[in-house]
Structure 1
Amino acid sequence: MHAMSEWVIITNKGFGSDDWIGRSVIEPADVLSGKVGEEQLKKAQLKLGNDFQVETLKSFLPYLSAISIDFPSEKDGRGFSLARRLRQLGYLGVLRATGHVMIDQYRHATQSGFNQIAIPPKLAKRMPEPYWQQQIGSFASSYQEKLQPGSTTLYSSKNNILIEEAKKHSKFKPS
């Protein structure tokens, strides 16, 4: 049993408790206007819509420790692009997909840079933890195998950063 929250949290370990309970939520306008100081940025959660221009936050990214991106519908994947762009801009904190993220989108979410998925309890009842665990397990083993030194598979889950490292350790040289 997990702590009750507005959200059911999913990580690479399965369902977990929401460690963001009690964090203040800030909006991008507050950050960009300078209303929020550096210490507040570190302790708060920045909430982004899936249509936000993340480039405007570039100078604030080193101070942010938690960003959530809204997924209002499972058919709207713009949040994946935002996550990928935030990682490309250098964001290193926790990135959470919040809303209607489906089990079959888990791999894409992690490849885009998300550390966590937060779904409503009603959605978690339709897609309980064993289903998520199956998806997580099938991804984790193949992903880990592909990152082992000497692997002949060049694969990356985060912005192609690991491909060069895999090439260095691989005996396989693509033509």
Structure 2
Amino acid sequence: MIKIATAECFTQGKIGREIHALAQDYKGNFGLDYIKNPKEHGNFDYNELSVTCSLFIPTLEAVEKILSISNPPKPNNLIKGIKVYDEEGDKNVSKIMARAIKKMSDCDIAIGTTAGVGHGGITILTNNYEITTTSDVYADLSKLNSEELSQRSESGIKKTLNILLLLLNNNFDKINNLKNVEIIKK
């Protein structure tokens, strides 16, 4: 069994929910929303997945108290406690969040996401790899443009799930061909 845990901000726990639906093979209203054909990524048996937890972590206080991260990077701005970093800051904090949830949950794969101004940051962390990327949509949280923010969230969810399924199927060639992806082998 491969255990997965997420600490999500701009993707609002939807990545964890989608992985859970995939792992449970749910159909209908409780089924998959973002993954239309999981087998197009390869022959991995998705019944081997289990979601340990999926957390929605938008605020700096939640990063500190729930993820037990002391002295996280100072955001460029706070909006009602919600952390707002630039794109490089988001990529860095997504790594910190993924590492924290991996340590807390003792999972096999951890996912961290956060987005303020820019494309956001997404990290998928395993014992052997750290994959960091962004969504393909620019948005600025401080401008409160709900359409742009929604599009960035949707892009981040889809891209993360795509990379995760390619990772599970050991298809690093396709991951490497995606826009703005950095893979670090540990």
TM-score under structure 2 normalisation?
A: 0.31
Select the structure with the greater relative contact order (CA < 8 A; seq sep ≥ 6): 2
